[in-house]
Structure 1
């Protein structure tokens, strides 16, 4: 019983971080499950998705309540992300676990460096209007969906910096819209991992329960933080996740 309570508390911490950064909590859950519980890369990704899927749906609703998400933009990202996430997840289940882990470390470090560089770039004033049309959003959704399916993180970590740097969105608007991509792509990715027996359901469900109770706190904190502070925290978060995975590699 205490074991499941511990999983639930762990999920609550991840839910808060997922709400804060608009990512569902999977980025830190995956290295933590490998480092603390000894799960291999694919099993860690599949188990984390059990928590991530409901977290993403709740966080999407909370962001939408605070700052309405354009359904047409969400559809352009979501449909492309859904198809490409399925292709990415099919690729992931057949790869070597050690190779997957090293690839994920490189993926996180690339994102961290990109976000760190953006802290020192001259940024245009964020607006509620996007600077490119739906074909560009669909292309972004496809790339992010494939990466999300491959690494089990929903693609939000790719979409959020792209929406702020290229499409002119504010950090919180970008995080909310990225969740619209993550919702369908994490769902299809979870199905793929489950069909290939890469999911620990009891652990994942306990984490999901804790995450659902806490994710709204993270959303509130995200809206309370200054833009630059939120971007800096996101960058540091990515580095921590990469270091955790490197310790397991």
Structure 2
């Protein structure tokens, strides 16, 4: 018998622009501040506050994070906080992973997606809670490091396509923990990688009817307004405070997503 949670609203939800603008502004700020595309907030907000079905929220989020990430990446690049080689390696893997992830989004039950999304958020929150980032210089990658970056990109792209997030919630901690990259460089690099990944995933989602372009446009334009402010704030905040706030946000969002299963 089909999973009842698969019977979600799958057509575009015509919400008042005010609600979408508020979600976009908040997401843009958090995107710039934490180096994520913004989907970490957009997806649950669309589901819990705007009445979107889970799959439609994922696809709409991915379309919205593209302009938001472009703005944030430019802000970090102006500050010199982007590792272009790392970004190229991650992007190569993530673009391939995005195709796989959007296919999985189309075929997997919604219940799996919700559990999986919450699990990713909780794992990231717990790990970040134990981390004290150091703002060190960039690192040089050998052959092994480059291969690991490609594999990380593949994983990020797959998760991005499935969960509607830009992948920064995986990339930023991984770059800090596995490669010793500065937290601000990790954020700027992450946002740069989100751009091609989001474009590829959005094209795939449009083919499958998993994107509301009207809502994505409103979300994205609102996020562009606040994203650069988030970048400036990230450069001012102590790194420890930044990751603690991010971990708290992820934990709360995961909690709300799990509660929504029985609401």
**TM-score, length of structure 1 as denominator length:** 0.92
CA distance in 2, matches of 1:184, 1:2: 28
Corresponding pairs, count = 246
Match of 1:218 among 230, 238, 261: 230
Gaps of 5+ in 2: 1-13
Which residue number in structure 1 is paired with residue 36 of structure 2? 23
Aligned-residue RMSD, C-alpha: 1.9
**TM-score, length of structure 2 as denominator length:** 0.88
Q: Secondary structure of the residue that 1:88 maps to in structure 2?
A: helix
How far does residue 124 in structure 1 lie from its aligned partner after superposition? 6.6
Q: Secondary structure of the residue that 2:211 maps to in structure 1?
A: coil
Deviations 1:131-166 (A, max 9, x none): 653222112211222111221212111110011111
Match of 2:171 among 148, 159, 166: 159
Deviates more, 1:127-136 or 1:58-67: 127-136
In the alignment, does 2:103 pair up with 1:93?
no
Q: Secondary structure of the residue that 1:100 maps to in structure 2?
A: helix
Deviations 1:114-134 (A, max 9, x none): 111324xxx677332246532
CA distance in 2, matches of 1:44, 1:136: 31
CA distance in 1, matches of 2:203, 2:116: 22
Deviates more, 1:166-175 or 1:110-119: 110-119
Which residue number in structure 1 is paired with residue 157 of structure 2? 145
Which residue number in structure 1 is paired with residue 212 of structure 2? 200
Match of 1:173 among 182, 185, 201: 185
How far does residue 180 in structure 1 lie from its aligned partner after superposition? 2.4
Gaps of 5+ in 1: none
Pair 226,131 (structure 1): closer, same or farther in 2 beyond 3 Å: farther
Q: Secondary structure of the residue that 1:154 maps to in structure 2?
A: coil
Match of 2:139 among 125, 129, 134: 129
CA distance in 2, matches of 1:178, 1:58: 13
Whether the aligned pair in 1 keeps the contact of 2:135 and 2:183 (CA below 8 Å) is no
CA distance in 1, matches of 2:248, 2:182: 19
